[in-house]
A = this chain, B = another copy of it.
Amino acid sequence: MLVKDCFVSAPGKAILHGEHAVVHGKVALAVSLNLRTYLQLKATTTGKVCINLPNIDTFLCWSLFDCCVLLLITARREEVKLLDSELVRRLREFVGVTNGNLDTGNMATLAFLYIYLSLFGSGELPSLTVSVWSELPTGAGLGSSAAYSVCLAAALLCASGAIHTPLKELDHTARWCQEELELINSWAFQGEMIIHGNPSGVDNAVGTWGGMLRFLAGKIIPLSKVPLLRILLTNTKVPRSTKVLVARVKDKINKFPSIMTPVLDSVDAISCTCEKVLSEMTCEPITGEHYNILEELIDINQHHLNVMGVGHPALDTLCQVTLTRGLHSKLTGAGGGGCGITLLRPGTVDHTVQDLRDCGFDCWETSIGGPGVQQHSPSSIKKEVLEILNQY
């Protein structure tokens, strides 16, 4: 079976407003982050299935014969909502993952083989090589594993013929219809379950649909239209544990319920106000006042996150450094270090990236609200990314 080559990409994710508050039943806004993960799928005639993940120095091949043996003892599944735990167990054995070795490379390998075998297991296994390169830092709460899973799902579903190949001749990029995106998203969620155990589903939804999603009490609602906003994404590189930070906020709410409950209500109102402003920006001329409001909301929420106890001196530095350039920042995600976003106004030339790198931070100029998963013509992929992917 010879499959068609393809290039796909999916964006990362940032929380614009509502991190932590969402744990307590409030609205959060998740947006696509235009630091993307790129995947090249190449048909081969080697009789092997190979995965190359140069970001994490993982390069692995398996013979199709060995994979077939694995499948003989696994029943084919149609239902994609639940994970096939028996297949996962066998795959762990197959790739030699012991319980104590749940590193990124192993998790990524398991997710790949799981989706590959699940989609092709009922027929002939195709000989192919998948190579993935990501602009996203891993483990920084920016949805890098979801972007990876979404790319895997899209490329392998295309290769299997379960969804069509949307790119027409002369197109640079193309996207799938709503129904096909649902299928991509559900397979990406399988990958996320393998990598994360108990994911919220927000990251793969952002990777699939892009733009902005409203997340409330477990329900994820993609928003119809949002403007593309320029931002700086800064990684303070201060390590933190999301679990510890979530517990810290919970403790503070329990300790001071009358003080903290209104703060969560205020964050909820920030998310709703932000959603309203962004929606206005898509249907009326964008003005400075729109940006003024977005900046005020960022400042207020950053103070609220400090009240919740999830700030960090490195994040204070981020806010101060950007404010000296007239820019407004907040942490994004779990806080306690990690990443922050800084809103840029259109057309402004920005020297802040260097200021922030001088603080020892990683910093990227990028955008939020861009497209979700898409197929690319090779010519539409940045030269440096294409060079990396074409090495394999």
Residues of chain A touching chain B, judged by Cβ–Cβ distance below 8 Å, are: 256, 258-260, 262-263, 265-266, 269-270, 272-273, 296-297, 299-300, 303-304, 306-307, 316, 320
Asked if A262 meets B266 with Cβ closer than 8 Å, knowing A300-B307, A303-B306, A307-B300, the reply is: yes
> 12 interchain pairs (CB within 8 A)?
A258-B266, A258-B269, A258-B272, A259-B273, A260-B266, A262-B262, A262-B266, A263-B263, A263-B266, A266-B266, A300-B307, A316-B320
When the two chains form the complex, which single residue of B263, B273, B320 contacts A262, counting CB atoms closer than 8 Å?
B263
Chain A interface helix/strand/loop/mixed: helix
Asked if A256 meets B303 with Cβ closer than 8 Å, knowing A262-B262, A263-B266, A266-B263, the reply is: no
Q: Are the CB atoms of A296 and B256 closer together than 8 Å?
A: yes
When the two chains form the complex, which single residue of B258, B263, B273, B307 contacts A273, counting CB atoms closer than 8 Å?
B258
Residue picked from A259, A260, A299, most chain B C-beta under 10 Å: A259
6 additional A-B pairs beyond A259-B269, A262-B263, beta carbons within 8 Å, are A258-B266, A258-B269, A258-B273, A263-B263, A299-B307, A304-B307
Give Cα A272 to B259, complex, Å: 10
Residues of B within 8 A of A320 (CB): 316
Residues of B within 8 A of A297 (CB): 259
Asked if A273 meets B256 with Cβ closer than 8 Å, knowing A263-B263, A263-B266, the reply is: yes
